[in-house]
Amino acid sequence: MSLPAGIFINGVTGEVPDANEHYIKTIGELRGLYRDVTAFDTYLRDCGDGPAYAVAGYRQADSDIIFGTTTMQPGKIGDEYFMTRGHYHVRRDCGEVYYTQSGHGVLLLQTREGETREVTMAPGVCAFIPPDWAHRSVNTGPEPLVFAWFCQATAGHDYGDILSHGMRKLAVERADTLAIVANPGF
Ligand code: PAN
Ligand code: ZN
């Protein structure tokens, strides 16, 4: 049986002391995500492998809801800011909420039909992700980007489509500022 609980989230570090699910994605594990393969290899050679983002989740058995945090390091590969893999949910009826607690970024969203949207991620902004919109977060600032996420426990992650085709839009740095551009490789 699920029981009520008050779960502390550190909005600066993203740490959730009571989290019972954790994983880290290193830059090296994200080969193929970034368009500039030479820049990717140069980054790994010069900076070494290290965490790109960490995910902590809080799940209670038999509950319909899970939540947790994602903490994304700042950085760029070529002109692309550090980003998450991006996914649809396996269950097409399941949306999600991202509540940014610190740092700055952009949430890239797209439908299977080709519609795209961007939502600014900044402290205090709650991003609503409707069902069946693919979503990828991008850290566009110089600090870690920390956001709390809340979704259905059985939503599931479907990475296949974004992994093989990328997303329609890229978040890149142009003249020292963020630009959202069409992905020439899509
Ligand atoms: C988030 C994401 C998390 C990492 O918890 O899973 O930010 O992003 P990727 O899973 O795309 O690598 C979420 O959207 N869950 O559904
Ligand atoms: Zn999701």
HSE-CB at 9 with a 13 A cutoff on CA atoms is: 21
pLDDT at 153 over 90: yes
151 forms beta bridges with: 66, 96
pLDDT at 92 over 90: yes
How confident is the prediction for the chain on average, in pLDDT? 98
pLDDT attached to residue 1: 87
pLDDT attached to residue 72: 99
86 C-alpha to ligand 1 centroid (Å) = 7
Atom of ligand 1 nearest to the CA of 53: 4
6 C-alpha to ligand 1 centroid (Å) = 23
Distance between CA 101 and CA 175 in Å, rounded?
27
Q: pLDDT tens digits for 43-90?
A: 999 999 999 999 999 999 999 999 999 999 999 999 999 999 999 999
Say if domain 21-182 classifies as CATH 3.40.640.10. Answer: no
86 CB under 6 A from ligand 1?
yes
Residue percentage of the chain with pLDDT more than 90: 99
**Which ligand is the nearest neighbour of the Cα of 105?**
1
**Which ligand is the nearest neighbour of the Cα of 98?**
1
Q: Which of 102, 175, 99, 104 is nearest to 140 (CA)?
A: 104
Burial of 70 (0-12, 13-18, 19+ CB in 10 A): buried
pTM of the model: 0.98
pLDDT attached to residue 58: 98
Cα 22 → chain centroid: 15
87 CB under 6 A from ligand 1?
yes
For the chain, give the DSSP string: ----------TTT---TT--EEEEEEGGGGTTTSS-HHHHHHHHHHH---EEEEEEEE--TT-SEEEEEEEE---EETTEEPB---BEESSTT--EEEEEEES-EEEEEE-TTS-EEEEEE-TT-EEEE-TT-EEEEEE-SSS-EEEEEEEETT--EE-HHHHHH--SEEEEEETTEEEEEE-TT-
Distance between CA 47 and CA 67 in Å, rounded?
32
pLDDT attached to residue 9: 98
pLDDT attached to residue 173: 98
Q: What is the mean pLDDT of residues 114-142?
A: 98
Distance between CA 86 and CA 24 in Å, rounded?
15
